[in-house]
């Protein structure tokens, strides 16, 4: 046992001893770099031994700093070298800092680790020159950092005052233009931009003070959060006061009451919620919250809600389809496939459509998904005129020409019947019936809503004139001859 200890004591210094004839060149370096800058260093591993060695390089780990070392492992032949490249990316800082880093190089031979070398890096990190000021006042040197601080504060104070006086002139200029878009934009941007500039000026001024890195990062983080809030507010105001306002204006001008009362309010609410949610997600991300987990949770919740509200969502999208497709508008008369009732459209909602049955004087609420699958006949399209027909039967003893003349006179005497060249009434001798001669009177009614009253008055007038003219309207009859 004692002999093993003696051997271990003899071999341990040999194993751990530096590799004679091995080195790295250079073994240290000093650099001055700017905040956020990337820089590359080089050093060489030299193997002066008479055998091949294996090396492993461990790069330092520091929050905010990124090290890329190539290669990190490899073999070096006897009396050979290996060039190593170290690429360093510095973080964004706003105060000057000094940093020391060590790149460790481990070299192994066939018996194990032979030696360890350290490549020393000393970094002087300089913050960016973001301190904007118009002038350097001759402050006493004893004031130190307070001189630049006052210069930056005065500069941004002057900029804020200039904006305060410039905005009224811009507003006056926009009043000369024909459009109101620029007036709205100026009104929207006036206060947020002023606040943004003041906060940026305060941030610039505070970063001239000898604050710690943690405090500077905190100030920048607070500034980023305020900027997100300001930008979200500007987008919200532009969406609400410009986009939605002009959409309402256009819908009123075009007489699209359905868009104004139904679709646009929904788009406005969805847009506002979307803007607020995106702004909130950006705030949470800036605050360091893991957004991926939140988005995944929202996605799962969305799937559950979608499955639970399939019918409601189906009616919602069917309502959007009806409004965008413009198959009918509020006040139109429509016919539904398979039904004889005539409906007047009273309201188009996002869940159901309200129809008024003009014959039974009842209000019907039809889910949009059902209505979207119906064949719809719009009686108000392409215009409010409608062509109707009235069937008339006369006896076989009647004079055909006389019948046609009387029917034409009746049609042309009605005030609600169109009589121009392309809409003249037409009488057609349609067929020989079993006990009558069958005619059809085709005529155009000016207003589709009056078609039933006009048809009724025409039939009453036909009955009266036929009696005056001695034209018989026969009853259905069957003659039987007996042999």
With a CB cutoff of 8 Å and minimum separation 6, the contacts of 430 are: 391, 438, 439, 440
CATH number at residue 406: 3.30.70.100
**Domain identity same for 166 and 285:** yes
Structural domain contains residue 13: no
**Domain identity same for 169 and 252:** yes
Reported pTM: 0.51
Structural domain contains residue 11: no
Per-residue pLDDT of the chain (483 residues; tens, 9 = 90+): 445 444 444 444 444 444 445 788 888 888 888 777 888 889 998 888 888 888 899 888 887 788 899 998 988 888 888 999 999 888 766 566 788 889 999 888 877 767 888 888 888 877 665 444 444 555 555 666 676 777 777 778 888 778 777 877 777 777 777 777 777 888 888 888 888 888 888 887 787 777 776 777 788 888 888 999 999 999 999 998 888 888 887 777 776 666 666 677 777 888 888 898 888 888 888 877 777 776 776 677 767 666 655 666 666 666 666 666 677 777 888 888 777 788 888 887 777 888 888 878 888 888 877 777 778 888 877 777 888 899 999 998 888 899 899 999 898 888 888 888 888 899 999 899 888 899 999 999 888 888 888 899 999 999 999 998 888 888 776 667 677
**Domain identity same for 287 and 346:** no
Structural domain contains residue 67: yes
**Domain identity same for 374 and 391:** no
Q: CA dist 475 to 116, 394, 395, 435, 438, Å?
A: 123, 9, 9, 8, 13
Angle value at C-alpha 401, between 396 and 403, nearest 5 degrees: 65
State how many domains the chain has.
4
**Domain identity same for 354 and 394:** no
**Domain identity same for 170 and 286:** yes
**Domain identity same for 249 and 293:** yes
Please report the pLDDT score of residue 307 as a whole number. Answer: 61
Give the whole-angstrom CA distance, residue 261 versus residue 242.
18
Exposed/middle/buried for 248, CB within 10 Å: 0-12, 13-18, 19+? middle
Structural domain contains residue 84: yes
Structural domain contains residue 282: yes
Please report the pLDDT score of residue 312 as a whole number. Answer: 62
With a CB cutoff of 8 Å and minimum separation 6, the contacts of 302 are: none
Adjacent-strand bridge partners of 89: 38, 66
**Domain identity same for 256 and 344:** no
Please report the pLDDT score of residue 233 as a whole number. Answer: 92
Give the whole-angstrom CA distance, residue 330 versus residue 323.
10
Backbone angles phi and psi of 357, in degrees to 5: -80, 110
Name the residue range of residue 446's domain. Answer: 386-469
Kindly report each contact of residues 184-189 with a partner whose C-beta sits within 8 Å and lies 24 or more positions away, as own/partner: 184/241, 184/242, 184/245, 185/238, 185/242, 187/241, 188/234, 188/237, 188/238, 188/241, 188/242, 189/234
**Domain identity same for 222 and 256:** yes
Please report the pLDDT score of residue 83 as a whole number. Answer: 92
**Domain identity same for 122 and 28:** yes
**Domain identity same for 394 and 368:** no
**Domain identity same for 264 and 395:** no
Backbone angles phi and psi of 198, in degrees to 5: -60, -45
User: How many Cβ atoms sit within 10 Å of the Cβ of residue 222?
Assistant: 13
């Amino acid at each position: 046992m004692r002999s093993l200890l003696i051997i271990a004591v003899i071999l341990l210094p040999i194993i751990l001893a530096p590799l004679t004839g091995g080195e790295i060149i250079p073994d240290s370096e000093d650099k001055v770099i700017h905040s956020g800058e990337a820089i590359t260093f080089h050093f060489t591993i030299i193997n002066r031994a008479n055998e091949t060695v294996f090396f492993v390089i461990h790069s330092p780990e520091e929050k905010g700093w990124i090290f890329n070392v190539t290669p990190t492992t490899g073999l070096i032949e006897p009396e050979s070298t290996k060039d190593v490249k170290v690429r360093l990316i510095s973080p964004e800082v706003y105060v000057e800092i000094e940093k020391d880093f060590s790149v460790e190089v481990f070299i192994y031979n066939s018996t194990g680790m032979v030696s360890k070398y350290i490549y020393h890096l000393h970094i002087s990190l300089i913050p960016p020159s973001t301190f904007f000021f118009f002038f350097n006042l001759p402050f006493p040197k004893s004031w130190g950092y307070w001189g630049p601080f006052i210069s930056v504060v005065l500069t941004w104070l002057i900029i804020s005052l200039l904006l305060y006086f410039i905005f009224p002139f811009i507003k006056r200029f926009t009043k000369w233009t024909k459009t109101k878009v620029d007036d709205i934009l100026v009104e929207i941007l006036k206060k947020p931009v002023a606040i943004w500039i003041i906060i940026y000026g305060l941030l610039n001024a505070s970063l001239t003070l000898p604050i710690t890195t943690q405090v500077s990062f905190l100030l920048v983080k607070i500034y980023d959060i305020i900027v997100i809030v300001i930008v979200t507010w500007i987008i919200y105001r532009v969406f609400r006061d410009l986009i939605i306002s002009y959409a309402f204006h256009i819908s009123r001008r075009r007489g699209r009451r359905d868009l104004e009362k139904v679709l646009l309010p929904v788009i406005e609410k969805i847009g506002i919620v979307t803007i607020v949610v995106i702004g909130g997600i950006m705030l949470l991300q800036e605050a360091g919250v893991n957004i991926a987990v939140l988005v995944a949770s929202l996605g799962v919740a969305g799937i559950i809600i979608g499955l639970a509200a399939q019918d409601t969502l189906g009616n919602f999208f069917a309502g959007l389809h009806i409004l965008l497709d413009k198959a009918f508008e509020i006040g139109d008369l429509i016919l539904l496939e398979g039904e004889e009732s005539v409906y007047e459209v009273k309201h188009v909602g996002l869940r159901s459509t309200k129809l008024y049955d003009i014959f039974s004087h009842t209000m019907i609420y039809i889910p949009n998904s059902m209505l979207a699958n119906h064949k719809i006949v719009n009686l108000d399209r392409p215009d409010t005129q409608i062509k109707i027909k009235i069937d008339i039967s006369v006896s076989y003893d009647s004079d055909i020409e006389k019948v046609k003349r009387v029917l034409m006179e009746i049609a042309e005497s009605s005030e609600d019947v169109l009589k121009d060249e392309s809409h003249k009434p037409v009488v057609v001798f349609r067929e020989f019936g079993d006990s009558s001669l069958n005619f059809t009177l085709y005529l155009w009614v000016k207003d589709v809503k009056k078609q039933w009253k006009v048809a009724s008055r025409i039939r009453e007038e036909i009955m009266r004139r036929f009696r005056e003219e001695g034209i018989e309207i026969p009853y259905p009859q069957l003659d039987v001859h007996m042999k």
